[in-house]
Amino acid sequence: MLRVLVIDELEARAGEICAGLALAGHQVAALLPTAADLTRRVEEIGPDVILIQTDAPSRDTLEHLAVINAAAPRPVVMFAKNRDGRVMRKAFKAGVSAYVVDGLTPGRLAPVIDVAIARFEEHQELRRERDVATQALAERKTIDRAKGVLMKARGMDEQAAYAALRKLAMDRGQTLGRAAADVVEMAKVLL
């Protein structure tokens, strides 16, 4: 059972959404009439999924979603009438996992939420992989800089500089990247 935060300015339509969620076995964590103060409310409520029904997402709503996506990402399903590709791209950039145009029926809620969760999980995995690769590249650059410092300061060749960095890391119980960063920082002070 998922805890779903529903945002819909139309009370009657929101009632249908809540009923559809209940039939699909989900719990409505809260029902909000607008996305105002969304960041704080999401923090308080802690929903598993955010479901937004709107004619067209406002700039404020997209900004709130971007903040949430950066701080505590979660799947967001948006049902909208606006089929403008630019608006859709902005919504996806803000963290919307599924943007459905003119298609909200209670019977479709469960599969749409399932797809949004799957897309969200895949996106999160890609972000993690990107972050790991970015960190590895930054560490590699730092190691290369540290080798350059040692080669210049001690007249070593590249292999000897690398061996010296490895020994320093082992002696200090640090990773090679941390030891390399220390060498680069020390070089800034001394040179």
Whether 9 shows a pLDDT value over 90: the answer reads no
How confident is residue 127, by pLDDT bands cut at 50, 70 and 90? very high
Sheet bearing 27-32, strands edge to edge: 27-32, 3-8, 49-54, 76-80, 98-101
Distance CA 31, CA 165 (A): 57
Q: Say what the pLDDT of residue 109 is.
A: 85
CA gap 1, 7 in Å, rounded:
19
Determine the pLDDT at residue 87: 92
Check residue 159 and give its pLDDT.
96
Look at the domain 135-190 and name its fold. Arc Repressor Mutant, subunit A (1.10.10)
Q: What is the structure's pLDDT at 117? A: 95
Partners of 31 in the β-ladder: 6
> Between 31 and 147, where is the model more confident?
147
Is the pLDDT reported for residue 17 higher than 80?
A: yes
- The fraction of the chain above a pLDDT of 90, given in percent, is 63
pLDDT at 22: 87
Residue 107 pLDDT exceeds 80: no
Can you tell me the mean pLDDT for 82-103? Answer: 91
188 CB-near residues (< 8 Å, 6+ apart): none
Query: 42 with 5: CB under 8 angstroms?
Result: yes
What are the tens digits of pLDDT across the range 69-85? 998 899 999 999 888 89
Share of the chain above pLDDT 70, in %: 99
Does residue 26 surpass a pLDDT of 80? yes
Q: What pLDDT score does 108 carry?
A: 81
* Whether pLDDT at 4 is above 80: yes
Assess whether pLDDT exceeds 90 at residue 20: no
Q: Write the CA distances from 72 to 35, 42, 87, 154, 189, integer angstroms.
A: 16, 9, 23, 47, 38
Q: Which CATH architecture has domain 3-104?
A: 3-Layer(aba) Sandwich (3.40)
What is d(CA 185, CA 191) in angstroms, rounded to the nearest whole number?
Answer: 10
Work out the burial of residue 190: count CB atoms within 10 Å of its CB; fewer than 13 is exposed, 13-18 middle, 19 or more buried. Answer: exposed
Domain boundaries, the chain: 3-104, 135-190
